[in-house]
Each structure stands twice: as structure tokens, then as C-alpha cells.
Structure 1
Amino acid sequence: MGSVLKLYIQVAFAVKIVSCSITMVDNTTSKSPIDLSTAFLLRVDQSGQGDYKRIQEAIDAVPSNNSELFFIWIKPGIYREKVVVPVDKPFITLSGTEASDTVITWNDSGDIFESPTLTILATDFIARYLTIQNTHGNTGKAVALRVSGDKAAFYGCRITSYQDTLLDDAGRHYYSNCYIEGAVDFIFGNAASLYERCHLHSMAEESGAMMAQKRESPLENTAFIFLGGKITGVGSTFLGRAWGAYSRVVFALTYMSGVVKPEGWNDWGDSSKQRSVYYGEYKCSGPGANRSKRVTWSRSLTKDEAAPFLTKGMIGGRGWLRPSPTHFKKYQTS
């Protein structure tokens, strides 16, 4: 089997498409505007059979202020490195084939902006079928993923740590069919994010908190919205606690196991926040969805109240969520 045909088959499997085509293009002559059907292909393989051995090397090879899609295909393996997608490198996709066998891992703690295993600062980023983990343990803040760029999407990813797993910091973000695990504030920040059909797993043995949303003004169009999906875990956990005075979190059509504490929500020791936070639930199911003992300042949403949170409208998804490319071209640096 020729090398081009092998590449054709491998990439088609990686992006789960039926067909694609590959052409050779020299980057010195390619200055066309963005074509969402076509991407430059960079391959990362620890064995040396790809274009790069490390993920960061592939990201570094993307030209600054690029205006075309770059698809970085990561061959299965455990990649022990801290990875940053800088602000001047938009339109990058990092893709494995299965999250279970493509792992980006590091072991760091302390500052929430410095400890992440993977940091996204650029706009128009996509991650597919990756495990992103921080293995520091349960002795402090240890971020696995920081998302500070606008228009970022994650598909079929596993994101795991213990405290402060996912810093969903700023911008509009979309998470689809992701698994997110932690114990203390394991999704936190002030982004406008939709989590669709995601699995949240709490590791808190006694009293944890899943969300710490930091909306600080009623003028901020930010929130964490969980649509579908499920909550599992051990011990017990709050659905969320009020990091910001106007913290906003909504769970809709979500299965909640008995790990959810009956009161559901926590004001983080500041009762004044009870008047301004927005914590809503809509048609959730399971033993943890029983609202008979919920705090009185949380909301059982009506159909009309829930409607704005049941689509991708809040994150403007129709304007920036994009399909996988169907054509690939080799990127040549010289």
C-alpha cells in the first residue's frame, strides 16, 4: 500500500469521515482565505513516523496569524508535555482517534493560569478525542485544561484532575460528549459555555462542588449550561457554588445520581449572593434531581424560562461551530 493511500485511510479514521483527498501545497504560495472544507495536515507520532514527535512542536510550526485551518492529528500514545496554543495561532484542531488512547498529561499545581496541562489562548480552536489530565492529585489547585480563547469546541474529550480541573475562563465555548472529572470546583471560570451530553463525575468523598461560575454583573452574557448528559460520582457534591455575585448555571434534561446534595447549591458563605445568582434546573431526572430540599433561591424553570438555554444561541454557535474538514493538504515549511 502506498504512503499516500495509508495517510488517506488513517486521517479518514481520525476525523470519522467517509472520504477525503490530499494534495501537496507549498505554504509559501498559499494565501487564500479560509476554506472550511480543507486543512493543512500535521502528524504527531512519538515513534518518529509523523511530521513531529511532540504536540507543541506541531503547534509551533503553524504560522502566526494564520488564516487557514490546521489539523494536527495525534497518533495514539501518552504525551507527557505542557501544551499551549498561543493567541496568534487560530484555526487549529488537535485530534486523536479515541480519547482512551491519546493522552496529554502533566503534573503541576499552584497558579490556575500556570498549572494547566493544556492552555488554549487562540480563537477558533477545536479538540477531538483526547484525554487531557493533570495528575497532581488532591493537595491543591491543579488545572488540566484552561480555555481563554473565544470560539473553542471540544468533542469526545476526557478532562480529569481533582481540584480546578477545567478553567473555563473566557469566551464562547462548546463541549460535546465530553467526560469531566474532579472534586472541588472542577469546572470554573466566566465563559459562556454549552455542555451538551457531557458526563460529569465527582470524586469528592464528603462535600464537593462541581461548578464555580464567576459572572460578576447582570450585563455579562456568560453562563455554564448543561444540556442532557449525566452526573455521577462518589460521596456528595453541590451542583455549584457562587464564585461571582451573579453566577449563572443551568442544568436541563440532565440525569443526576444520588451524589448531588439535596440542597443542590451553595452561596460560598455570602448570603447576599442569594439575591443575584441564577441557578436553574429544567426537567432533570434521577434521585439527585429531587428539588424538595433545594435551597429556595434556586429555580425550577418553566418551558419558556428554559428555552434560551436549550440551543446554541447563547454561544452564537451557528456563526462559528464548523464541521471537520474533508480535504487535507500537506504543509511544507520550506
Structure 2
Amino acid sequence: MVATYGTPNVTVATDGSGNFGTISEAISQIPVNRNDPYVVLIKAGTYNEAIYIGQNKSNLVLIGEGYQDTLLTAYGIHFFRECDIYGTVDFKFGFAHVVFQNCNIYLRKRSNSGNLLVITAQGRGKVNDTNGIVLHNCTVKADKDLEPYLNQTKAFLGRPWYNCSQTIVMESFLDKLIDPKGWLESDDKKALSTLNYIEYANRGPGANTKGRVQWPGYHIAKNSEEVKPYTVENFINGTIWLPSSGIPFVPGLIG
């Protein structure tokens, strides 16, 4: 990734070796309304902070040194639109209500010898909790560094982090790297019966559901009514708070 964009504009590091010690501090200093990419390299470390990226912080590129557990949406309500997100294992995880809409999700080659790749690891924890991860009209594909190794790789849409895991993948493009099973089981067999995993109207060579898992909590939605609760409008109440942000969004389904 760094090679793609060249030398970073600034570096964030918790040990004091960078230009900034926090991601928020770096973002606050970024010039607004840029036409060229502004690259922030985030060195390995733990960053316990809430990050706000205003709409005038255009062409911002955040590059982390590690690709596992890339994006934690811990709590609250989140919306990601037209973002490029790279990772290897469980790189979208957390307990929040979050919708990724029109995002590009790139799976990368692992730096070690592992050949398993997993996009999401959601954990509601309780069946009456309503949080979850929604991928809507996203594109899931291999990064260029992974393409030569696709024959040696198994990639999955997600696996349960805790009991009652909830993940919905709808109206998205799934490329050929997605394993026919679609989802990866965990060591905890109870998690397979309490989860709620839904696929609806996906497209692409990896969207064929004939070989999918047969878990009690997994199902293929047959009509739009089954997935309307997971739209931007309903799942994160997006029509209430997103218009004032100026961020474009589709409140319902695209089909």
C-alpha cells in the first residue's frame, strides 16, 4: 500500500517516532479540500480514540502497518461510504451498528504462512442486542499482492467473534476468491446456532450460494422485506442524521 502512494505525508506513532502521537491529531492538521491523496502512515500500536473525518478532508488515505483487526467499530453507530478497506483476518470487527455502503474491500496476502482470510468478526453477545455489520453494495475482491496466490487461499465473508454474531451481506459484488462455503466456523459450536448471517441479492462469481454453510443461524433472504431492517434508514437511522453531514447515501435497497 505504501508503495502504491509513495512517501507518506505524515506518520502517526505511539512511541514518539512519528509526526503525531494520535490519529485524531494528524487528521486535524490535514489540509482541506485536497485534489491529491494525503497519506497518513499509522505505525503498529494501540490507538484508543474516537476519530472524526469531516467531509472536507478529501482524498485522505490511512495506511496501517498491520492488516489483521484493521477496523474496530467498537460501539455506537457508524457509516462508511466509498472507502477502500484492506485486510487479512477479522479486519472488520466490533459490537457497533455499522453499515459499509459502496465500499471496496480488498483482501491481502498474509505476511506469515497462513492461507485463511476472513473479512468480518462480529459479536453481539446477546440475542436481544440489535448491533451488527452490514455490507451493502460493496465490492469484495483480492488485492494485487494476493492475486498470484488465490489457488492457495481460502477467503470467507466472516466468522462469529462471540455468540449471537450478526452480519448481513446484501447487493454486493463478491469475486471468485470467496470460498463456496462463504462463512468460517468458530471453535464454539454454540455460536453457530445463535448467529444471524444473511446474504441477499449478491452478484459475482463468489456469490453463488449453492455450497454455503448449513448452520441454523445462516440463511439466504428470498425477498427485500427480509433485509429492509438492515438498510441505512432502518439499521442506523441514517435518514435522521446523515443528511446534515453532506455524505451521500442510499437509504434503502438499490434493487
Structure 1-normalised TM-score?
A: 0.58
Query: Does residue 185 in structure 1 map to residue 90 in structure 2?
Result: yes
Q: 1:216 aligns with which of 121, 125, 129?
A: 125
* 1:79 alignment counterpart: 10
- Describe the shift of the 1:311–1:101 C-alpha distance in structure 2 as closer, same or farther (beyond 3 A): closer
* 2:39 alignment counterpart: 103
The letter for the 2-side match of 1:83 is T
Q: How does 1:137-286 map onto structure 2 within 5 Å?
A: 142=66, 162-204=67-109, 206-233=115-142, 234=146, 235=150, 236-286=154-204
- Describe the shift of the 1:166–1:99 C-alpha distance in structure 2 as closer, same or farther (beyond 3 A): farther
Cα deviation 1:135-194 (Å, max 9, x = unaligned): 2xxxxxx4xxxxxxxxxxxxxxxxxxx111111111100000111001011111111001
Q: Give the whole-Å Cα distance in 2 for the aligned partners of 1:275 and 1:95.
A: 49
Query: CA shift at 1:108, angstroms?
Result: 1.2
Aligned-pair identity in percent equals 24
* 2:5 alignment counterpart: none
Q: Give the whole-Å Cα distance in 1 for the aligned partners of 2:100 and 2:35.
A: 17
Q: Which runs of 5+ in 1 are unaligned?
A: 1-76, 87-91, 136-141, 143-161, 326-334
- Describe the shift of the 1:96–1:241 C-alpha distance in structure 2 as closer, same or farther (beyond 3 A): farther
* 1:306 alignment counterpart: 227
Q: Give the whole-Å Cα distance in 1 for the aligned partners of 2:175 and 2:133.
A: 19
Q: Give the whole-Å Cα distance in 2 for the aligned partners of 1:173 and 1:254.
A: 19
* Matched-pair contact (CA < 8 Å) for 2:232–2:239: no
Cα deviation 1:35-69 (Å, max 9, x = unaligned): xxxxxxxxxxxxxxxxxxxxxxxxxxxxxxxxxxx
* 1:40 alignment counterpart: none
* Matched-pair contact (CA < 8 Å) for 1:95–1:130: no
Query: CA shift at 1:320, angstroms?
Result: 2.0
Query: CA shift at 1:280, angstroms?
Result: 0.6
Query: CA shift at 1:107, angstroms?
Result: 1.6
Query: Does residue 133 in structure 1 map to residue 72 in structure 2?
Result: no
Q: Give the whole-Å Cα distance in 2 for the aligned partners of 1:195 and 1:106.
A: 22
* 2:50 alignment counterpart: 121
The letter for the 1-side match of 2:90 is D
SS across alignment from 1:272:
helix
Q: Which runs of 5+ in 2 are unaligned?
A: 1-7, 13-20, 248-255
Q: Give the whole-Å Cα distance in 2 for the aligned partners of 1:100 and 1:209.
A: 31
Query: CA shift at 1:94, angstroms?
Result: 6.9
Q: Which has the higher relative contact order, 1 or 2, with Cα contacts under 8 A spaced 6 or more apart?
A: 1
Query: CA shift at 1:318, angstroms?
Result: 2.2
Query: CA shift at 1:105, angstroms?
Result: 1.1
* Matched-pair contact (CA < 8 Å) for 1:280–1:301: yes
Q: Larger strand proportion, structure 1 or 2?
A: 1
SS across alignment from 2:105:
strand
The total of aligned residue pairs comes to 212
* Matched-pair contact (CA < 8 Å) for 2:135–2:170: yes
SS across alignment from 1:289:
coil
Structure 1 vs Structure 2 CA RMSD: 2.7
SS across alignment from 1:216:
coil
The letter for the 2-side match of 1:323 is S
Q: How does 1:312-331 map onto structure 2 within 5 Å?
A: 312-321=233-242, 322-324=244-246
The letter for the 2-side match of 1:299 is H
The letter for the 2-side match of 1:78 is N
Question: Which protein has the larger Cα radius of gyration, Structure 1 or Structure 2?
Answer: 1
Q: Give the whole-Å Cα distance in 2 for the aligned partners of 1:255 and 1:121.
A: 30
Q: How does 1:41-52 map onto structure 2 within 5 Å?
A: none
Cα deviation 1:295-334 (Å, max 9, x = unaligned): 0122101221111113332112222222349xxxxxxxxx
